[in-house]
Structure 1
Amino acid sequence: MTDAIMTSRATRAPALCATVDYDGVDTGDGMVASARDFTADFLAAAPAVGRARVTQERVDLGRLVVSELVTNAVRHAPGPCRLMLELFEDALEISVFDRVEASPVPRGHDPGRVGQHGVEIVVAICESVSVEPHPWGKRVRVRLSLV
């Protein structure tokens, strides 16, 4: 993991933006836990940029979404990945960049299936989910309402 970069911006740009890069060497729970903690710390900084405190419910949902997206990258796109968080007045945008072009596909609802519900969970929680191809892989971007 490399150090996080936090910046403050104006206008339609996010009030706060931070990224963290993972080298992909730690492919276990440590990387996912680190991403969840990074998200909680990021949202705790909201008052420092003049935004209201983010409720604990929304922090928990943000941590859950990040956990599912980073877990998906670890399992299906081994190698380096980047987590980017952007704080807007009413929403948190979460992006995970990885090195595999294939898009995550939600599986059909199956209460009997053990595991593999991550994309379903993200789609159910977030306002929007998009996958953007890049020459070196893809960006999965989601928007989580904070209101």
Structure 2
Amino acid sequence: MVKLTKQKWIAVLIAVCALVSLCATNTFALEKKEILVDQYLETFDNGSYAVVTVYQDANQMRNGTISGHKDYSYYDGGLAWNFTVYGTFTSNGKCTAASYGVTVHNNVWYCASGRAWPDGNSASASGTMRRGTDNVEIYPSVTLYCSPNGSLS
């Protein structure tokens, strides 16, 4: 076993801390960055509303692809759920992949069904969100478009 002096232990400790810090910095640099493209409001007769937001990945032209998503955030006395379509497009706007995701914020709601599909220059998703207390259903339908020049909407 090698004996280290107090100064060598401190040097080793500083080196380990620097290495951990470097690794953490590189990990944070790999975080996904998003650009807010558009946002609008839909209101309903019952007082509920939805905020629809389009995001484009900041690293959009990686490998010649453009990626983004469109969130449909439904508010019913507070944020109830998000229904999201994700799309990947070629640099000229053709959709190559589509998927969807659901995040429930108010546990009286749940996703009864959903599906996503690519179609030309769009990624679409639709589903059924059901409120378990009274079986009220909302049918979100979300489409993310990509123009031939690579702009999402």
TM-score normalised by the chain length of structure 2: 0.30
Point out the structure with the larger strand share. 2
* More helix, by proportion: 1
Greater RCO between the two (CA within 8 Å, min separation 6)? 1
